[in-house]
Amino acid sequence: MPELPEVETVRRGLAPVMEGVMIVRADVNRPDLRWPFPDNMAKRLTGQRVERLRRRSKYILADLSSGETLLIHLGMSGRMLVSGDPLGNFVHDHPAAEKHDHVVFHMENGARITFNDPRRFGAMDLMPTATAQEHKLLAVLGPEPLGNDFHESILCDAFEGRNTPVKSALLDQRIVAGLGNIYVCETLFRAGISPKRKAGRIATARVAAMVPIIRAVLEEAIEAGGSSLRDFRQADGELGYFQHSFDVYGREGGPCRRDGCEGTIARIVQSGRSSFYCPVCQR
């Protein structure tokens, strides 16, 4: 599933052709994805200007001139692909329609944005912009890791007394929003902390030190266009490249890349997810 860097990469790719531009027609080609689409979605989108395109955790939010906000979740295999971009940022002509093109936005500038999702785990919803933060999917989210509300004391307080493994704590979207399996593994490697360590038993100084590491990992991933493992594509159809910089994720049996460490990357399963780490230098 795309994590924060992949979603932010898609948002940045869509912004130049969607922000300030009217949706002249919205084609909704099925009644649902993971959940049913909102009533009259095509009609409610058609003729509305996209005032702002933003991100909250792993969700893209399009604020519309109607006073509603379109929530988009890419799910496991969802892609939002731009074609016919008049700004010249994309070279793709409008392709022929494909089987899994579930929602298509025809923009007044000639661009077309196609939401393609073979597995149909994605989702869309419409909600009042003024109360968007109260939506059931957004209200439970913790602070944004790249925002000012995420800082050392917030993470230390969240970890205090917690008996769950640190890997599980960092994946808890109530503690910090947008982190997923890939970037938690990479963060813990850089921090030198085993994913098996109990969150509440890590020294405060080490917990605090994870905050700038989390930010650095995410910023580097965004700069690289995210990580493409299976289905992820940027808005122009290109792959992300951060997977070539992984220190531990997907490298089971490979040598540890930390200077002076002779360890071998191991994989364990925690709560049904693979954790990759170096048993020698992560403690």
Known catalytic residues? 2-3, 58, 273
> How far is the C-alpha of 102 from the C-alpha of 111, rounded, in Å?
17
> How far is the C-alpha of 135 from the C-alpha of 225, rounded, in Å?
28
The tally of CA atoms less than 13 A away on the side-chain side of residue 222 is 18
> Buried (b) or exposed (e) across 245-268, using 16+ Cβ within 10 A?
ebbbbebeeeebebeeeeeebbee
The first and second tokens of residue 175, run together, are 């503690």
DSSP class of 255? B
Handedness of CA 216, 165, 206, 259 (dihedral sign): negative
The tally of CA atoms less than 13 A away on the side-chain side of residue 247 is 23
Give, in degrees to the nearest 5, the angle at Cα 78 between 149 and 217. 40
**β-bridge pairing 273-277 and 266-270:** antiparallel
> How far is the C-alpha of 104 from the C-alpha of 115, rounded, in Å?
6
The first and second tokens of residue 270, run together, are 């925690």
SS3 content of the chain, % helix, strand, coil (to 5): 30, 25, 50
| Structure-derived torsion over alpha carbons of residues 243, 246, 252, 256, reported in degrees to the nearest 10 | 160
